Amino acid sequence: MQNDYILTVSCPDRTGIVHAVSGLLLELNGNILDSQQFGDEETERFFLRVHFSVDGDLSQDDIHLKFIPLGEQFNMTWKLYDARKKARVLIMVSKQGHCLNDLLFRANSGSLPIEIVAVLSNHRDFERLATGYGIPFHYLPVTPDTKAEQEKQVLALVENHKADVVVLARYMQILSDRFCRALEGRAINIHHSFLPSFKGARPYHQAHARGVKIIGATAHYVTADLDEGPIIAQDIEQVDHTMSANELTRVGSDIESLVLSRAVKYHVEHRILLNNHRTIIFR
């Protein structure tokens, strides 16, 4: 029996990194299934993702211990993941359900390798949708006065459900700095690409009034800087003067759903490495 693992590496760029990693895998009698690398001349850092298999008698802890000296030698930031383990995902949503519906369908059909462990909302609109898929639904209303307490409850649910990643599928609340720090690197948000030109409510109506010619969406990691976290995925669609605000909204919703699912897939397949404020995406 073979087990699959994914190794991700970020370190100062120098000669011998790939040779050392592949040499260690050879010592472990490992088989490299896929390998991608990138050296950034600006930051002088090297990035590597290796998908490999080893004999089932070798545990993840065994492999981890073997890599520790190599990580120290090259000053690596590295992680080792079980490639066959589905990520546990908690989804947060408000009153727009297109991204939630898309993620539920993709997870249920097997096209997205995740286990949705809970849906959480400050409204009850999508309770039946979630429970229809057999997924726990948590209703946590929030007001300015209860925001701090509500966020504590949210973090407790993330912990209780052992969620690996939190997806904000059009969750229309500004998150506190404390909350963002608690979920740093494991919370993904989606928004329309009009920001910051069309802030606030009804962005597609604002865009329609200004006669835009393209609309789009951006998925990014959540940080304390509102909608300014490292970008994971983006896409656009051409539009024209014949389209109403409602038609723009429909097209925009489709793009948001596609971009968010793409970003979640990159994250749970461990294809994203941070390069300062930018992301390296190994497709």
The yes-or-no answer on residue 240 being catalytic is no
pLDDT of residue 197: 62
146 and 221 co-located in one domain? yes
Backbone phi and psi for residue 23, each to the nearest 5 degrees, phi listed first: -65, -40
pLDDT of residue 185: 93
pLDDT of residue 195: 46
Sheet of 2-12: strand order equals: 31-40, 45-55, 2-12, 77-82
Does residue 188 come out as left (phi exceeding 0), alpha (psi in the -120 to 50 range) or beta?
beta
169 and 200 co-located in one domain? yes
pLDDT of residue 194: 60
pLDDT of residue 48: 98
Helices 17-27/60-73 angle, 10° precision? 150
Give the pLDDT confidence of 235-248 residue by residue, as tens digits. Answer: 999 999 999 989 98
Whole-number Å distance between alpha carbons of 88 and 74: 31
68 and 162 co-located in one domain? no
Whole-number Å distance between alpha carbons of 200 and 139: 24
109 and 69 co-located in one domain? no
Last residue of a domain, one of 82, 99, 119: 82
Mean residue pLDDT across the chain: 93
Number of domains in the chain: 2
Which of 40, 125, 227, 235 is labelled catalytic?
227
Looking up residue 124, the CATH number of its domain turns out to be: 3.40.50.170
Structure tokens at 215: 């609309």
pLDDT of residue 203: 80
Whole-number Å distance between alpha carbons of 266 and 283: 8
Whole-number Å distance between alpha carbons of 12 and 7: 17
96 and 209 co-located in one domain? yes
202 and 103 co-located in one domain? yes
Q: Side-chain half-sphere of 176: how many Cα atoms within 13 Å?
A: 15
Last residue of a domain, one of 82, 98, 118: 82
Counting as low any pLDDT under 50, the low residues of the chain are 195-196
Whole-number Å distance between alpha carbons of 213 and 70: 51
pLDDT of residue 192: 80
271 and 160 co-located in one domain? yes
pLDDT of residue 129: 98
Structural domain containing residue 30 = 2-82
